[in-house]
């Protein structure tokens, strides 16, 4: 399709539009209240008095779906709104397809007059008023002032008296198109060419139930830019922090906000897009395949004479096949040669199968479309039933606010004193790090602070810029703004188990509970000439609780910021203790069970009936431990004697045979016998100790089996 843009040059001229339209101003309700949310949605209220039945609202096309979804019209004087109307949305291509082809192909004045061939027009110009049907536009040689022929376009008209009239196109001042369809098409083509959907407001007509004066309140929502906060903070030693916050508000609604009640909301109520403006059509199944696909051919005319009897038909003829004389062509149906009933039945079955196949494919397509539509509905339902809107914090302007269209404004939302100070922040893991200069800000109970950039002034001068996340009421945040040197950080880590106690004794097993304690020592050294308040960021140990934390400790989820006061050119140290409960089941009197039972006897002060057997069991365990220690010592002695015997035997094996080494051999044999007797004696004592241990363990088993503690 050819472009319609060149029509603009023609249609802007009043002569091409016939009578000039008069723009009448319409009374509109002014915007009186604006509420901006952080999910990109704005709530708008219009309030005023309207006389008559009609009210016009003008909204941008990109806002129309939200307006249709949320528009509310309240007549506070007692009447009601009866209807709301607006133009149906149609794309430029769709509108152009409905225009006459003469309009779609027109390009400029000459082209327009050319494609108006046959149309009734009224032309005003140098030759006065001329009426007729357009025959065409041709180029004709016209002498100029020097007598040279210059080709100029000439319009040819066919008048009512069948005379042909010519007039130069350059001399035409005004053209009135008599064909209303063409005139309307020109207007629509201009709308398409200038892309009015991108900027031209759409008119929403609200019709009220009766005449008279109406006190109206009209409200709706539509998409708006998100408002953004930005902060400034002045930090002075010993005086805290002066905090100021401004919200940047953008007005791109298409009209100015003059003296409106402006509210900024912290929160994101659920909202979604839904196209109500574009006409929605549901496809219907096409059953055209059920129509007859072929008409029956007329029969051959019967001939009015007789002829000799024909020979019996062949098998091929009975089956409806043509013989050799068919020449490959289809035989013509006649009284003597028609398709057999079987062949006719097969053809009908094939045709029916084709019809049913087309119908099946159509049913499948309709079912798939239905499934997609159901899925879209389920998705929309999920969007609108996700969760309830929680409590929203609002900033409301104390005085009316004016924001021109296509402008931004700064709205003061925070201005107060806050508790805070300048600190040094170690926020990265590792001991070799250097801290940040930062501002410790403790937010009060007045309001939350939304995330945004912040400019910092320390002791009257610009110090840097930072960013704060969302800070709730009574929460603390750190705002780093510069690196600092001259510090050294060291950490030590210890782990112990304490406070063991007996939870249960049953069947010779002991259930114990205790605490595992993690102790971290944080030390910071400084070479600065002034004292420094430092904070060290530590990752919490999972599943633990802090034990006696420092007073100014700052908790942030799974992390803590540990305060460390560092003197001038000195060292500061703080211990962080975390503990977590642990439990275990001990089979018998293991070292852990013995510690737990002793702790329990000392602190729980149980009845003697229960404490007596436990004390006896502990005493038996002590004897077992003593025998174990004795066996260990004896085994060490036996090992020494075994080594001694091996040494003596090696010496004996090395001695030569004969009288020369007889005395030495005798001496070594005596030493070997003595070591053997000692080794045998040690082995005897080991066996005796093992027998005693076995007896004691049996006694211990019986004692523990008789103890029950829950």
DSSP 263-293: EEEES---------SS---------GGGS--
pLDDT of 465 above 70? yes
Report the candidate in 522, 524, 515 with the shortest Cα–Cα distance to residue 547. 515
Taking residue 146's Cβ as centre, other Cβ atoms within 10 Å add up to 6
Tell me the pLDDT band of 694, cut-offs 50, 70 and 90: very high
* Beta bridge mates, 584: 512
The mean pLDDT of 240-258, rounded to a whole number, is 90
For 159, phi then psi, to 5°, come to -75, 170
Mean per-residue pLDDT for 253-257?
Answer: 87
Q: Which range (246-255, 307-316, 381-390, 570-579) has the least confidence?
A: 381-390
Number of other residues whose CB lies within 10 A of the CB of residue 359: 15
Q: What are phi and psi of 55, to 5 degrees?
A: -135, 130
Percent of the chain whose predicted confidence (pLDDT) is above 90: 23
Can you tell me the distance from the alpha carbon of 568 to that of 559, in angstroms, rounded to the nearest whole number? 28
pLDDT at 88: 66
How would residue 517 be classed by pLDDT, with cut points 50, 70 and 90? very high
**Quick one: average pLDDT of 399-428?**
89
pTM of the model: 0.57
Lowest mean pLDDT among 90-104, 194-208, 336-350, 646-660: 336-350
> What pLDDT shows up at residue 33?
94
pLDDT value at 95 more than 60 = no
- Average pLDDT of span 660-671: 84
Tell me the DSSP string of 395-458. EE-SS-EEE-TTEEEEEEEEEEEEEEEEEEEE-SSSSS--PEEEEEEE--SS--B--EEEEEEE
In this predicted structure, the answer to whether residue 613 has a pLDDT above a threshold of 90 is: no
């Amino acid at each position: 399709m050819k472009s319609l843009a060149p029509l603009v040059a023609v249609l802007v001229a009043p002569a091409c539009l016939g009578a000039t339209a008069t723009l009448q101003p319409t009374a509109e309700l002014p915007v009186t209240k604006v509420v901006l949310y952080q999910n990109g949605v704005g709530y708008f209220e219009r309030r005023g008095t309207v006389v008559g039945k009609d009210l016009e609202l003008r909204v941008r096309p990109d806002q129309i779906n939200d307006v249709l979804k949320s528009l509310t019209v309240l007549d506070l004087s007692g009447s009601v709104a009866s209807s709301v109307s607006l133009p149906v949305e149609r794309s430029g291509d769709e509108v152009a397809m409905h225009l006459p082809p003469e309009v779609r192909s027109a390009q400029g004045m000459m082209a327009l007059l050319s494609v108006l061939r046959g149309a009734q027009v009224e032309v005003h110009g140098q030759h006065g008023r001329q009426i007729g049907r357009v025959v065409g536009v041709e180029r004709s040689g016209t002498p100029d002032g020097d007598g040279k022929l210059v080709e100029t376009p000439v319009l040819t008209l066919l008048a009512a008296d069948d005379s042909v009239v010519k007039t130069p196109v350059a001399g035409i001042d005004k053209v009135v198109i008599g064909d209303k369809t063409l005139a309307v098409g020109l207007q629509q083509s201009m709308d398409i060419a200038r892309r009015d959907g991108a900027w031209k407001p759409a008119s929403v007509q609200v019709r009220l139930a009766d005449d008279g004066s109406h006190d109206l309140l009209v409200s709706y929502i539509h998409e708006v830019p998100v408002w953004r906060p930005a902060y400034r903070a002045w930090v002075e030693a010993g005086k805290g922090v002066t905090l100021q916050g401004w919200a940047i508000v953008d007005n791109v609604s298409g009209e100015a906000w003059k003296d409106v009640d402006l509210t900024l909301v912290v929160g994101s109520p659920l909202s979604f897009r839904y196209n109500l403006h574009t006409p929605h059509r549901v496809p219907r199944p096409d059953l055209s395949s059920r129509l007859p696909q072929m008409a029956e051919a007329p029969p051959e005319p019967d001939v009015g004479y007789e002829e000799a009897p024909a020979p019996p038909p062949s098998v091929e003829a009975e089956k409806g096949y043509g013989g050799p004389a068919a020449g490959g062509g289809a035989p013509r149906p006649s009284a003597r040669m028609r398709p057999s009933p079987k062949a006719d039945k097969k053809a009908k079955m094939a045709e029916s199968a084709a019809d049913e196949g087309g119908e099946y494919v159509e049913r499948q397509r309709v079912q798939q479309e239905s499934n997609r539509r159901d899925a879209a509905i389920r998705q929309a339902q999920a969007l609108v039933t996700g969760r309830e809107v929680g409590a929203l914090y609002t900033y409301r302007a104390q005085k009316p606010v004016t924001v021109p269209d296509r402008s931004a404004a700064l709205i003061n939302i925070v201005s107060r004193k806050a508790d805070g100070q300048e600190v040094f922040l170690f926020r990265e893991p590792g001991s070799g790090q250097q801290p940040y200069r930062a501002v410790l800000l403790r937010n009060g109970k007045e309001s939350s602070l939304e995330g945004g950039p912040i400019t910092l002034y320390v002791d009257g001068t610009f110090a840097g810029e930072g960013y704060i996340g969302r800070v709730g009421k009574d929460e603390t945040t750190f705002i780093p703004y510069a690196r600092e040197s001259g510090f050294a950080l060291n950490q030590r880590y210890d782990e112990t188990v304490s406070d063991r106690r007996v939870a249960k004794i049953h069947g010779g097993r002991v259930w114990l509970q205790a605490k595992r304690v993690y102790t971290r020592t944080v030390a910071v050294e400084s070479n600065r000439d002034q004292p420094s308040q430092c904070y060290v960021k530590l990752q919490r140990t999972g599943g633990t609780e802090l034990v006696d934390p420092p007073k100014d400790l700052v908790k942030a989820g799974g992390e803590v910021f540990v305060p460390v006061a560092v003197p001038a050119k000195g060292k500061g140290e703080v211990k962080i203790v975390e503990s977590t409960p642990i439990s275990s089941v001990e089979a018998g009197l293991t070292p852990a069970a013995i510690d737990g039972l002793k702790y329990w006897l000392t602190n729980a002060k149980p009845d003697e009936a229960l404490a007596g057997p436990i004390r006896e069991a502990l005493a038996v365990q002590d004897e077992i431990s003593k025998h174990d220690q004795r066996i260990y010592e004896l085994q060490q002695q036996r090992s020494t004697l075994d080594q001694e015997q091996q040494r003596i035997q090696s010496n004996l094996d090395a001695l030569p045979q004969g009288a020369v080494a007889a005395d030495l051999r005798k001496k070594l044999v005596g030493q070997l016998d003595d070591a053997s007797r000692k080794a045998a004696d040690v082995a005897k004592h080991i066996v005796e100790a093992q027998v005693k241990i076995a007896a004691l363990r049996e006694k211990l088993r019986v004692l523990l089996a008789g103890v029950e503690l829950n």
